[in-house]
Amino acid sequence: MPAAVEFRKVSRHFGPASAPVKAVDAVDLSIAEGAFFAMLGPSGSGKTTCLRLISGFESPTAGEICIFGENVSNTPPHLRNVNTVFQDYALFPHMNVRDNVAYGLMVKGMAKAQRYARAEEMLALVHLDAYGSRKPGQLSGGQRQRVALARALVNEPKVLLLDEPLGALDLKLREAMQDELKSLQQRLGITFVFVTHDQHEALSMADSLAVFNDGKIAQIGTPAEVYARPKTRFVADFVGSSNVLPPALTQSLGGPAKWSSLRPESLHLDAAGPLQGTVTALRYLGAGHRITLSSQGHDIAAILPTGTPLPDPGSEARFAFGPDALHIMDEA
Ligand code: ATP
């Protein structure tokens, strides 16, 4: 079965060939049909450009893009069976919700009764059946977001692209919409490709994710793989709040003389533990405490659950960790 989306050495460079901005640089990528795939990375790392390459709003300067096995590198956006939900939703303010959703079908020439029936179906899917006559300005942010989703889904795309679709929402609504998006994707079985710079969002929603850095994919895998076994310091730093340990410190903890990562929540107090240092800070987080330990000149964070004993600030403390917690990275 062909992948829903495949990149073969795809590049998108901007500016003069003598000094190009390598927005996307020789990226290989394969997104399985039915996946909820996240593209995660800092600002400017190439996520949006990748999404625009899939939608066809951007053309590759090199390489090949396939959608369900068909080379679409030179296919215009409207012939790709792909739809995008933008961060600002891009709804038409003068049209009511029903017309906004039915718009794509009108462009395709579908009769009014039929397209309204389809629009109502889509509005029911996103729990907005009672809102068809309202204008976008009369809706909350979360409701507008769902209209944008309905408007994209009405075209029955095989791949739905979402560019930071929850970026404009407050935290509570964002979390509610994360659950809704996830369940909608599971019910419809459409391939979702989701751009975010929020690691929690990517880890909790995606079945598979790519971490972008500087126009390249630093790592690709399941959230659990990327979180627990970051390949590089960049990934360890960006995904989660890992301690990144230099070779000497890794070695003193019983590892090889290589860079390693150690998750703060994998540490626990243990008088015989290998990690020793001075407690320089202690912060209450709600669900636990964050302890900063200074060890061999490095700050190491540990997160201890509420209710467990805490070391005193300024004291010497020792920590231990489980057998798989110290992850050695490939990087030199
Ligand atoms: P953000 O999270 O801020 O949206 P991003 O990871 O989506 O960032 P892109 O928008 O893909 O990043 O941009 C990648 C790089 O390419 C950036 O350095 C950006 O300035 C550059 N870039 C993007 N579009 C253009 C363009 N049309 N012309 C020149 N440079 C561009």
pLDDT digit string, tens, across residues 225-255:
998 888 988 998 888 778 999 999 999 999 8
- Establish whether residue 21 lines the binding site of ligand 1, counting it when its CB lies within 6 angstroms of any ligand atom: yes
Say how many Å lie between the CA of residue 49 and the centre of ligand 1.
6
pLDDT at 140: 87
pLDDT digits (tens, 9 = 90+) for 153-187: 888 899 999 998 887 777 877 888 888 888 889 98
- With a CB cutoff of 8 Å and minimum separation 6, the contacts of 117 are none
Q: Do 216 and 253 reside in the same domain of the chain? A: no
Residues 259, 169 within the same domain: no
**Of the residues 235, 264, 294, the one at which a domain ends:** 235
Tell me the CATH number at 68: 3.40.50.300
Give the CA angle between residues 205, 45, 290 to the nearest 5°: 55
- Are 210 and 304 within one domain? no
User: By residue range, what is the domain housing residue 228?
Assistant: 5-235
Does the Cβ of 145 fall within 6 Å of ligand 1? no
Q: Strand 191-196 to strand 36-40: parallel, antiparallel, or no bridges (unpaired)?
A: parallel
Ligand 1 contacts CB of residue 27 (under 6 A): no
Pocket test for ligand 1, best of 27, 40, 45 (most atoms within 8 A of CB): 45
Low pLDDT (below 50) residues in the chain: none
Any atom of ligand 1 within 6 Å of the Cβ of 217: no
Q: What is the DSSP string of 95-142?
A: S-HHHHHHHHHHHTT--HHHHHHHHHHHHHHTT-GGGTTS-GGGS-HH
Q: Rounded to whole angstroms, how far apart are CA atoms 23 and 3?
A: 23
The radius of gyration computed from the CA coordinates of the chain, to the nearest angstrom, equals: 24
Domains in the chain, number: 2
Report the pLDDT value the prediction gives residue 30, as an integer from 0 to 100. 97
For residues 14 and 132, state if they share a domain: yes
Residue of the CA atom closest to atom 10 of ligand 1: 48
Nearest ligand 1 atom to the CA of 48 is: 7
Evaluate whether ipTM surpasses 0.90. Answer: yes
